[in-house]
Amino acid sequence: MAGTVIGEGLTIEGEVVTEEEVVVNGTVRGTLSSADAVSVGAGGVVEADIQASALSVAGQVTGNVNAQDRIDIQAGGRLVGDVKAARLTIADGASFKGNVDMEV
């Protein structure tokens, strides 16, 4: 189980900083920073800049993302913002709008 879970129906407005894996099934507005992976569930909404080791998006993310390793936008996921990551996958059925920096 992830260290930090933002459950369905819960909204955090502000700054979240952690060293653990984060699962967002609720809403985060502000900034979200984790030394571990961040996963936005199908019902999750993040309106925040995200810093993480890896990001998986099945819900909605609006904000710039900086991931040390990878970003995966899954089917049904939606990401609007600029992304910086070594690897990026956008699944069939996902939507993405923004610039990509893969540190080539």
Partner 1 sequence: MTPRPRCTSVGRRNPMAKNTTDMSVLGPSSRITGNVRGGGGLRVDGSLKGDVTVGGPVEIGGEGTVAGNLEAESLDLEGSLEGDASTRGPIRVGPRATAAGTFRGSQVTIEPGARVALRLDCDFELDLGLRPTRRRR
Residue 11 and residue 91: Cα distance in Å, rounded? 27
Residues 6+ apart with CB under 8 A from 104: none
Give the per-residue contact string, 5-44, with partner 1 (x = CB under 8 A; - = no): xxxxxxxxxxxxxxxx-----x---x--------------
Nearer Cβ to partner 1 (26/63) = 26
**Binding range to partner 1, per CB under 8 A, among 1-9, 60-68, 72-80, 82-90:** 1-9
Cβ-based neighbour number of residue 56 at 10 Å: 20
Contact set with partner 1 (CB under 8 A): 2-20, 26, 30
